[in-house]
Amino acid sequence: MSLVLDPAAQDLLFREARTANTFTDEPVTDEQVQAIYDLVKYGPTAFNQSPLRITLVRSPEARERLVQHLAEGNQAKTATAPLVAILSADNEFHEELPALFPHFPQAKDVFFGERQAREGAAGLNAALQAAYFIVGVRAAGLAAGPMTGFDFEGVRKEFLDDDHTPLMVVNIGKPGPDAWFPRSPRLAYDDVVTTV
């Protein structure tokens, strides 16, 4: 009773949610993706920065180009997933800060004038947003199959540019037959939490 969120929603988002390895052929619509984004964009980030960029891979030609950069174990499931998203960090996110952080628009230059500072902040905050995106996919009643087993530089050259750093590739759809591996263990509370 310590959590306000309904137990069924807790199960949907966390306890029963799993990384899917197979999917049905039911399409994932642009409207579903927009609803996911319109929910998860409210997740907290430092300075309200929004460095996450989402590249939807829909065409068969683009899918073939992507699959060749994936680890062998990720190729077949990505080739057949209803939708694939490349999640990346925009290292020039600071250009939007005057609009996103209006009470201190100087943050753009004060904290993020140097490329190295931007890349670190973009990577961390886009990773946070990527996690929110995965939970949002689950909230839409879909399954996500996030993967980092791919040639990052190859994907960047094929789909992005020098200002974007790929973070992960995510297969999205309704789970298919035998979609799950057995659930792996998690650390217990006492293994993680220390009070000082």
What domain range is 130 assigned to?
A: 21-177
Q: Tell me, yes or no, whether 83 lies in a domain.
A: yes
Q: Tell me, yes or no, whether 14 lies in a domain.
A: no
pLDDT at 1: 74
**Identity of the amino acid at 105:** P
Crossing angle (nearest 10°) for helices 60-67 and 152-159: 150
Q: Tell me, yes or no, whether 66 lies in a domain.
A: yes
What's the chain's average pLDDT? Answer: 96
Q: Tell me, yes or no, whether 193 lies in a domain.
A: no
Q: Tell me, yes or no, whether 182 lies in a domain.
A: no
The model's pTM is 0.95
Q: Tell me, yes or no, whether 5 lies in a domain.
A: no
Span 36-41, mean pLDDT?
98
Q: Tell me, yes or no, whether 71 lies in a domain.
A: yes
DSSP the chain: ----S-HHHHIIIIIS----S-B-S----HHHHHHHHHHHTTS--GGG---EEEEEE-SHHHHHHHHTTB-HHHHHHHHHSSEEEEEEEETTGGGGHHHHSTT-TTHHHHTTSSHHHHHHHHHHHHHHHHHHHHHHHHHTT-EEEEE--B-HHHHHHHH--TTEEEEEEEEEESB-TT--PPPPP---HHHH----
Tokens of 85: 């998203």
Q: pLDDT tens, 64-92?
A: 999 999 999 999 999 999 999 999 999 99
Tokens of 75: 């190729």
Structural domains of the chain, count: 1
**CATH number reported for the structural domain that contains residue 78 in this entry:** 3.40.109.10
Q: Tell me, yes or no, whether 133 lies in a domain.
A: yes
Q: pLDDT tens, 94-143?
A: 999 999 999 999 999 999 999 999 999 999 999 999 999 999 999 999 99
